[in-house]
Amino acid sequence: MARNKKSLKIKDKWKQKQWLIVEAPKSFGNTPITYFPITDPKFVIGKVLETTLYDLLKDDIQNQTKKLLFVIVKSNNTTAFTILKNFHYSREYVRSLIRRGSTQTVLIGNFSTSDNYKVRLNILILSQRRITSSKKHELRAAANTIISEKIKNLTYDPFVQEVILGKLASDVYNVCKKITPIRHVGVQKLKLLNFDGIELIKDVKPVEDVKPVEDVKPVEDVKPVEDVKPVKKAKPVKKAKPVKKAKSVENVKPVKTTKSDVNENEKDLVNVPNTSEDVSEDISDSI
């Protein structure tokens, strides 16, 4: 009879997982961004999620051109908390803004908030007509002073809220329009450079016990090298003998003609008709 095989139970991995809710920061009202299953919430920290402003606010369809990148910094068994890492316009939207006859001015600078968050901003300024380089310099200087004054009194979350909702761009626009007519002002890109003040939950694995180094065996006595025989001196090379001059070619003797050749030539001369005698005979006959 066949032996009864023990039934093996297969563990279902999906039953061991749990659904985690990823929430946006306070500046976005803690709205949920997405859901995904996990086995351990600690493995989620450091993940980056991409979405658009329209997917979060659901208010204006034009916000699809504004893309957001969130990074997870904290998590528990049910929810994961994020912070804004990057914000930028889409390429198609930037191309639609640039037109012929206008001048594009870009300000790129690093700024620090009151809670020591360092950010890099790209401010895009588009004029209604062409302007000179001196006007560009004035626009950059005016935008730089406004941003540096506002960011000192704001923490990171309220500053992000002003950037996303366009309040910072409107303040820059109100000052720049006094210098030259302006068509558009906006924050093209925001990038978080550091994570000071953020608690990162990461378990560091302890270093394994290092095994002691085994005793090194002593090196065996090396045999001395045998006496090397001196190299014999090479014999000097003999001098090459000079090449002899070639002998001059002797005078070539003329070719001798044979009697047979002469006889043949004489026969040819005999056979040639004598035209003078024939002519004289014809004249005498006629007379």
Q: What is the pLDDT of residues 54-111, one digit of tens each?
A: 988 888 888 889 999 999 988 888 888 999 999 999 999 999 988 888 899 999 999 9
Strands (E), the chain: 18-23, 32-38, 48-52, 66-75, 79-89, 104-112, 118-127, 182-192
* Cα-based distances in Å from 12 to 15, 17, 179: 6, 9, 67
Instruction: Please choose, from the candidates 94, 84, 152, 155, the residue with its C-alpha nearest in 3D space to the C-alpha of residue 122.
Output: 94
Residue with tokens 């204006």: 60
Winning range, highest mean pLDDT, from 145-159, 199-213, 233-247: 145-159
The confidence score (pLDDT) of residue 274 equals: 52
The whole-model pTM stands at 0.61
* Contact in structure between 72 and 44 (CB atoms under 8 Å): yes
CA 280, CA 263: separation in Å to the nearest integer? Answer: 30
Q: How confident is the model at residue 226 (pLDDT cuts 50, 70, 90)?
A: low
Top mean pLDDT of 26-30, 58-62, 131-135 is at 131-135
Name the maximum alpha-carbon separation found in the chain.
159
**In the chain, where the domains are located:** 17-89, 98-202
Name the more confident of 258 and 164.
164
pLDDT tens column, 159-217? 999 999 889 999 999 999 999 999 999 999 999 998 654 443 333 333 343 344 455 45
**What class is the 98-202 domain?**
alpha beta
Mean pLDDT of 234-263: 59
Q: In this structure, how many other beta carbons lie within 10 angstroms of the beta carbon of residue 63? A: 17
Model confidence at 248, pLDDT cuts 50, 70, 90, reads: low
pLDDT higher than threshold 80 for residue 26? yes
